[in-house]
Amino acid sequence: MAHGNKVLVGQSGGPTAAINASLAGVFSTASSLGLDVIGMRYGIQGLLDGRTVRLSHYLSRPLDAKFLRMTPASWLGSCRYKLPDVEQDDAPYRQLMDIFCELGVGSVLYIGGNDSMDTIHKLSLYGDAVGSPIRFVGVPKTIDNDLVGTDHTPGFGSAAKFIATTMAEVARDSDVYDLKSVTFVEIMGRDAGWLAGSACLAGTSESPCPDLVLLPEAPVTEDQLIERLSTLLGEKNTVVVAVSEGLRRPDGTLMCEQWERAADGSRLDAFGHVASLSGTSRYLASVVRSELGCKTRAVELSTLQRCASHIASATDLDEAFRQGGAGVLAASDGRTGVMCALERMTNHPYVVESVLADVHEVANKARPVPRDWIAEDGMGVTSRFEDYARPLIGGEVSQVYIDGIPRHIESL
């Protein structure tokens, strides 16, 4: 069967506030080139089950694409499917190639993070090996900002804007009583501290906020933290700490694992099973309350930080939209095995360009916060971090409010 020129697009991995903007960008640019766009429902996994939708059917009115752009999470649905090594099992590859042919697909765009780039990496190698003319292009998205080969990833800026904004608000909220208190705000990031670091954007030059930032890249002990907090509480009433859920001790153990050890296996749920634990902030609040005797509070930003499209960064959504379009153009140019990356040309003014990165150099790597962007004592970030992150939260999105809440596109 002859290959076609349709664009097949999927979304994969954790949802963000910007991944639908990239999808809207794919649709917009493909449509302008006269190309049909087919969406995978639930990523590669749904595709293997034959689940697809024709986007033009759902995005026929101009407002549809506008609402899609401002709707959080993965409109097409997502998956966490990892292709097997082709040497071990090439069945899914053959099945996918058959599906691509059947659908008349000329290019496959996959919007996602590290695992999604792994999928593009493997499919493009397989495509080359079997002489397929289909182009495979990755469009990056992850709030974690830990992809290599790009200045930053769409989705990060919006998460950072929510984190910085709510951090400033929580800091106000924490400071109303005339007593000593420590508030821990727990932020996503199992291995990389980009999101926790972005809490620094809550501060202004006159009033830095939060007081401390604790990242997975900079392990601390409870004793070190207590000592630092004790000093801070000597200077001020209210201390606010941004902490990565993935904060570790120097021996590599996660802070939140202490909960399990402390309760000696007896921290059970209502039916006698060990409860799944997160709770880095709850753990630290408990330790500090015991040690310093002050009021403490734990605030988990939870999934809100990745889906709060009501306070998305306009810069982020613009770039996400643009990268979706760049993916279509790259495929049209015959490029395959590439990821649509962002390169920062200048920071003052902030100018980024769309470039293509070799996806084989991107997949299965991770980028931590550089050591010299972290304060010497490991409990904060430097001005280099702030210079890097500040432009990414710039600009506000004009949501359409109906009946008092932002309007999203109808679910599929």
Judged by CB under 8 A, the chain residues 284 through 343 that form the site for a copy of itself are 286-287, 289-291, 297, 299-304, 306-311, 313
Each residue of 31-55: b (16+ CB within 10 Å) or e? beeebbbbbbbbbbbbbbeeebbeb
Note whether 404 binds a copy of itself by CB under 8 A: yes
> In this chain, which stretch among 23-31, 92-100, 240-248, 389-397 interacts with a copy of itself, using CB under 8 A?
389-397
Note whether 393 binds a copy of itself by CB under 8 A: yes
Q: Which parts of 355-384 interact with a copy of itself (CB under 8 A)?
A: none
Q: Which parts of 60-79 interact with a copy of itself (CB under 8 A)?
A: 71-74, 77-79
Q: Shortest gap between Cβ of 45 and a copy of itself (angstroms)?
A: 7
- Cα–Cα distance list, 69 to 40, 155, 393 (Å): 18, 12, 17
> In this chain, which stretch among 85-93, 335-343, 344-352, 397-405 interacts with a copy of itself, using CB under 8 A?
397-405
Of 80, 94, 190, 371, the one binding a copy of itself by CB under 8 A: 80
> In this chain, which stretch among 269-277, 335-343, 348-356, 368-376 interacts with a copy of itself, using CB under 8 A?
269-277
Please check whether residue 359 is in contact with residue 120, taking contact to mean a CB–CB distance below 8 angstroms: yes
Q: Which is nearer to a copy of itself, 78 or 332 (CB)?
A: 78
Of 5, 230, 368, 395, the one binding a copy of itself by CB under 8 A: 395
> In this chain, which stretch among 22-30, 275-283, 357-365, 373-381 interacts with a copy of itself, using CB under 8 A?
275-283
DSSP 396: B
Of 10, 46, 155, 380, the one binding a copy of itself by CB under 8 A: 46
Please check whether residue 212 is in contact with residue 233, taking contact to mean a CB–CB distance below 8 angstroms: no
Q: Which is nearer to a copy of itself, 204 or 346 (CB)?
A: 204
- Please name which of 164, 176, 166, 167 lies closest in space to residue 295, comparing C-alpha atoms: 176
Q: Which is nearer to a copy of itself, 7 or 170 (CB)?
A: 170
Phi, psi of 31 (to 5 degrees): -60, -40
Q: Which parts of 176-215 interact with a copy of itself (CB under 8 A)?
A: 176-178, 201-202, 204, 206-207
Listing DSSP states for 345-373 in one string gives EEETTEEEEEEEEEHHHHTT---PPPGGG
Note whether 270 binds a copy of itself by CB under 8 A: yes
Q: Which parts of 144-163 interact with a copy of itself (CB under 8 A)?
A: 161
The count of residues interacting with a copy of itself (CB under 8 A) is: 83
- H or E segment and range at residue 19: helix 19-32
Q: Shortest gap between Cβ of 173 and a copy of itself (angstroms)?
A: 4
Q: Shortest gap between Cβ of 209 and a copy of itself (angstroms)?
A: 10
Whether 144 is catalytic is yes
C-alpha to C-alpha distance for 58 and 324, rounded to whole angstroms:
18
Catalytic residue chosen out of the listed positions 36, 115, 118, 144: 144
Note whether 168 binds a copy of itself by CB under 8 A: yes
Please check whether residue 7 is in contact with residue 53, taking contact to mean a CB–CB distance below 8 angstroms: no
Note whether 390 binds a copy of itself by CB under 8 A: yes
Note whether 251 binds a copy of itself by CB under 8 A: no
Q: Shortest gap between Cβ of 74 and a copy of itself (angstroms)?
A: 4
Q: Which parts of 88-117 interact with a copy of itself (CB under 8 A)?
A: none
- Give the x/- contact pattern for a copy of itself in 212-241, rule: CB under 8 A: ----------x-------------------
Listed in sequence order, the DSSP H helices in 33-145 are 43-48, 55-58, 62-69, 91-103, 114-129
Listing DSSP states for 177-242 in one string gives SSS-EEEEEEE--SS--HHHHGGGGG--SSS---SEEE-TTS---HHHHHHHHHHHHHH-SEEEEE
Instruction: Report residue 226 as tokens.
Output: 């207590």
Residue 256's Cβ-count burial label (10 Å; 0-12, 13-18, 19+) is: buried
Q: Is 33 left (phi over 0), alpha (psi -120 to 50) or beta?
A: alpha
> In this chain, which stretch among 28-36, 125-133, 172-180, 338-346 interacts with a copy of itself, using CB under 8 A?
172-180
Q: Which is nearer to a copy of itself, 268 or 351 (CB)?
A: 268
Residue with the two structure tokens 């590599």: 252
Please check whether residue 312 is in contact with residue 158, taking contact to mean a CB–CB distance below 8 angstroms: yes
Q: Which is nearer to a copy of itself, 68 or 147 (CB)?
A: 68
C-alpha to C-alpha distance for 395 and 161, rounded to whole angstroms:
10
C-alpha to C-alpha distance for 116 and 114, rounded to whole angstroms:
5
Catalytic sites, residue numbers: 144
